[in-house]
Amino acid sequence: MSRYRVQNPATGEVVETFEAASDEQIQQALASADAAYGLWREKSIQERAAVVRRIAELFEERKEELSRIIALEMGKPLAEGIEEVEFAASILDYYGVHGPSLAVDQEIPSTVPGKAIIENCPVGVLLGVMPWNFPYYQVARFAAPNLVLGNTILLKHADICPRSALAIQQIMEEAGVPDGGYANIFATHEQIAAIIADPRVQGVSLTGSEQAGSIIGEQAGRHLKKAVLELGGTDPMIVLDSHDLASVAADAWNFRVYNGGQVCNGNKRMIVMEDIYDEFVAQLKKLADGLVPGNPLNLPEGAYGPLSSRAAAEQVNAQVQRAVAEGATLQVGGVLSEGEGAYFSPAVLTGISRDSASFREEIFGPVAIVYKVSSDEEALELANDSDFGLGGSVFSTDKARAAKIASRLNVGMAHVNIIAAEAAELPFGGVKRSGFGREMGPLGMGEFVNKRLYFVAG
């Protein structure tokens, strides 16, 4: 089977295949990206920003078409696909509008006679290695700030997203990005290593698994290349109390099963106070009960779509079964479909022991895991007992109480009374084994930039 393919996760049917790039094609892409950088960086930042704004417009104009592509590629329901494209467009527009002001030069006081300025200069060709779970959003948050800055991009997308990868490149070119300034590459793992080692490439950004991040991070470090890594997460959602527990439980459930539960910053560990625990679990079970598999191209109410692939569904099923074997209780759901489809019914899992191997794992699928605690300190200690540190949230009618706990979460994004605040202007990223570096917002503008000192004596 070809490495790059469109394989309908609802049926397992391979719809189209794409050959991986030859080494010669990779070298041509590198040369074109390097040549384009010489031209692109010479344009004013306002000119580059105008191109990025046009990219945003094209995303918005083509959102129906783009959403249908990923529904077939990785199983995202059409409504969620449209939301993703709209979010990607908002990120592109944010940098197209605000990018120039975020990159403005800064004069600093100096004891040496003269004028000292910190300039924000592009660094060159960048490599992006992007995942399948949000095929447009992930690319937008990497590409938008760097195109405005004047960098050029080689983009290696997920093996199962070739059509969306090509659609993005077409939009980039149509919007006015110069030839080679943004290039999709169907690269192999060996070619990725060679690209990172190439002296024309100045940095790499990866969103993906912990394993992939450790490989890319090691390769980047070996060649002294800047890296941004956004990896996995087991984000805690602490629920202390509520005037409307059913509403909080519904929000928890909807966020957890969104995109088939294949969300890096999903609320994968729900930590609930013992006096409301039983009711919270009952509400989740009610929401999970009776759901049926459906076609992501036309998903009716009360139905769930497939995961990204049969292998992904089988992985989630194996993790749930392992947790049950270790003593956990599967309250509802958790049924792997027969045949070649990638359907796994949304599940509620309780009673995972902190001594079990399952406690340390990230389940990248629609599984709500609930823990019972009896105090604020126990909730906080449990929340921080993770190798990951992407995001986390605390819910309470007492905002000060919730804020006190949230301020002590060892994560990159802490929230009070909202599971995850996400917008183009808000930085995204984690700590510990969730990676390093930030994307989006003002911080996203500063990752791949040469903060150059410019000094004029006098």
The whole-angstrom distance between residue 32's C-alpha and the CA centroid of its chain comes to 28
Average pLDDT over residues 216-241: 98
238 - beta bridge partners? 271, 394
What is the pLDDT, as a whole number, of residue 152?
A: 98
3-class DSSP assignment, residue 416? strand
Backbone angle region of 52, left / alpha / beta, with phi > 0 → left and psi within -120 to 50 → alpha: alpha
Percent of the chain scoring above 90 in pLDDT = 99
Question: What span, in angstroms and rounded, lies between the C-alpha atoms of 380 and 213?
Answer: 27
Residue pair 5/186 in contact by the 8 Å Cβ criterion: no
Q: Which residues, other chains included, contact 73 with Cβ-Cβ below 8 Å and sequence gap of 6+?
A: 6, 7, 132, 135, 160, 161, 162, 163, 164
Average pLDDT over residues 215-229: 97
**Number of residues assigned to the chain:** 458
CA neighbours within 13 Å on the CB side: how many for 173?
Answer: 10
Question: In the structure, what pLDDT confidence band is assigned to residue 2 with cuts at 50, 70 and 90?
Answer: low
Question: In the structure, what pLDDT confidence band is assigned to residue 421 with cuts at 50, 70 and 90?
Answer: very high
Question: What span, in angstroms and rounded, lies between the C-alpha atoms of 306 and 315?
Answer: 13
For 117-149, b/e burial (b = at least 16 CB within 10 A) is eeebbbbbbbbbbbbbbbbbbbbbbbbbbbbbb
* Angle subtended by helix axes 274-288 and 245-257, to nearest 10: 50
Average pLDDT over residues 93-103: 97
7 - beta bridge partners? 14
Catalytic residues: 230, 264
Q: Please say if the pLDDT value at position 1 is more than 50.
A: no
Tell me the torsion sign for CA atoms 199, 49, 32, 216.
positive
Residue pair 61/35 in contact by the 8 Å Cβ criterion: no
Tens-place pLDDT, residues 128-144: 999 999 999 999 999 99
Question: In the structure, what pLDDT confidence band is assigned to residue 373 with cuts at 50, 70 and 90?
Answer: very high
Given the structure tokens 């984690």, which residue do they identify? 430
Q: Which residues, other chains included, contact 72 with Cβ-Cβ below 8 Å and sequence gap of 6+?
A: 6, 8, 15, 163, 297
Average pLDDT over residues 254-281: 98
The DSSP letter of residue 31 is H
Question: In the structure, what pLDDT confidence band is assigned to residue 109 with cuts at 50, 70 and 90?
Answer: very high
Tens-place pLDDT, residues 386-409: 999 999 999 999 999 999 999 999
Name the phi and psi angles at 269, rounded to 5. -125, 110
Question: In the structure, what pLDDT confidence band is assigned to residue 295 with cuts at 50, 70 and 90?
Answer: very high
Given the structure tokens 């990866």, which residue do they identify? 206
Identify which of 352, 436, 342 has the alpha carbon closest to the alpha carbon of residue 388: 436
What is the pLDDT, as a whole number, of residue 387?
A: 97
Tens-place pLDDT, residues 112-123: 999 999 999 999
* Angle subtended by helix axes 210-222 and 189-197, to nearest 10: 30
Question: What span, in angstroms and rounded, lies between the C-alpha atoms of 1 and 8?
Answer: 14
Pairing verdict, β 106-108 and 114-121:
antiparallel
What is the pLDDT, as a whole number, of residue 3?
A: 85
Residue 452, class by beta-carbon neighbours within 10 Å (0-12 exposed, 13-18 middle, 19+ buried)?
exposed
Instruction: Enumerate the H helices of 232-347 as residue ranges.
Output: 245-257, 274-288, 310-325
Identify which of 234, 238, 265, 248 has the alpha carbon closest to the alpha carbon of residue 377: 238
